[in-house]
Structure 1
Amino acid sequence: MERSGLKGYTIDEINIGDTASFMKTISESDVYLFAGITGDNNPAHINQIEAEKGAFKGRIAHGILTAGLVSAVLGMRLPGPGTIYMGQELKFTKPVYFGDTITAKVTVEEKIKNKIVKLHTQCTNQQGEIVLDGYATVLPPKK
């Protein structure tokens, strides 16, 4: 079942296979704000001339900025408000360019000791290409 809204789902309300998603177009200002907050001013993200010399031939978003979209799903949709993010395995599979529209999707994979939820996490771009793949573990909110 696709989950949405601002309700925090408890462990008893979560089922294997439940999903939720969040979509955002990554802007230049998103990348610059993220660089300012984190101090990661790598030219691959903020210097077009230098980035054109690199592997991706232009500026790209920070991988962790993309991962932050997964955090938005976990904290606001599934399990939702009150969720404690415990861990994340990530694999960045393609670059995210300015202007890309990214969909972050989580799917419930497992309930551990009826306390912790393991979710498959994936981000795709507007062409449906996977740009991030991994797994998160969370502690859902209490009643």
Structure 2
Amino acid sequence: MSVAYPIGKTMATIKEGDSLTVTQAIEERDIFLYLGLTNDNNPLFTQTDYAAQTDYQQTVVPQILLTGIMTSAISKHLPGPGSNIVNISVNFIRSVQHGATLTFSFNVIRVDQARELVTIAIAAENVKQQRVLDAVILVAPPKGAATK
């Protein structure tokens, strides 16, 4: 049984100023699923005793997991299903500890009709309203099904 997904915002419907806010709690389960998939065994991500000996003092969330939260929101919501990410630039400003809740703010800052690409700026903050990352993602919005 296949699931019918709607097409996300296309070049004809997306516009500069479109925005989205996503709040995500990052649980231990999420971190261990990521680590299991990638076989990443950095003790900074999992070992409390090890992390306590570092400048971070606590285990931290893998940066690529944070990137995955952003790309997932693009795939699901803005522009949505059928989107294809073509470039990502991320500045990780501050580490994120296990159990953190982050708020990601997405804003379409450019719609390039000629190249059929949109630029989305993203900022994420923790519950203390401290910026943890800034990102710019270039996305090819979905296109409708080809007609025969």
Aligned to 1:34: 34
Residue in structure 1 matched with residue 3 of structure 2 by the alignment: none
- How many aligned residue pairs are there? 138
CA distance in 1, matches of 2:128, 2:32: 24
Identity %: 28
CA-based RMSD of the aligned residues comes to: 1.3
Quote the Cα distance in structure 2 between the aligned partners of 1:131 and 1:74.
19
Aligned ranges 1:87-98 → 2 under 5 Å:
87-98=87-98
2:130 is matched with which residue?
A: 129
Tell which structure's C-alpha radius of gyration is larger.
Answer: 2
- Runs of 4+ in structure 1 deviating by more than 4 angstroms, as ranges, are none
How much has 1:114 moved relative to structure 2?
5.6
Is the aligned partner of 1:17 residue 2:17? yes
Q: CA deviation at 1:101?
A: 0.5
Aligned-partner SS, 2:12: helix
How does the TM-score come out when normalised to structure 1?
0.91
Matches within 5 A, 1:43-62: 43-62=43-62
Query: Which ranges of structure 1 fall in alignment gaps of 5 or more residues?
Result: 1-5
Could you tell me how far apart the structure 1 residues matched to 2:63 and 2:48 are?
Answer: 17
Instruction: Give the SS at the match of 1:133.
Output: strand
Q: What is the TM-score of this pair, normalised by structure 2? A: 0.88
1:105-132 CA distance string (max 9 Å, x none): 2110111226100110222111221111
Q: For residues 78 and 24 of structure 1, what CA distance do their matches in structure 2 show?
A: 16
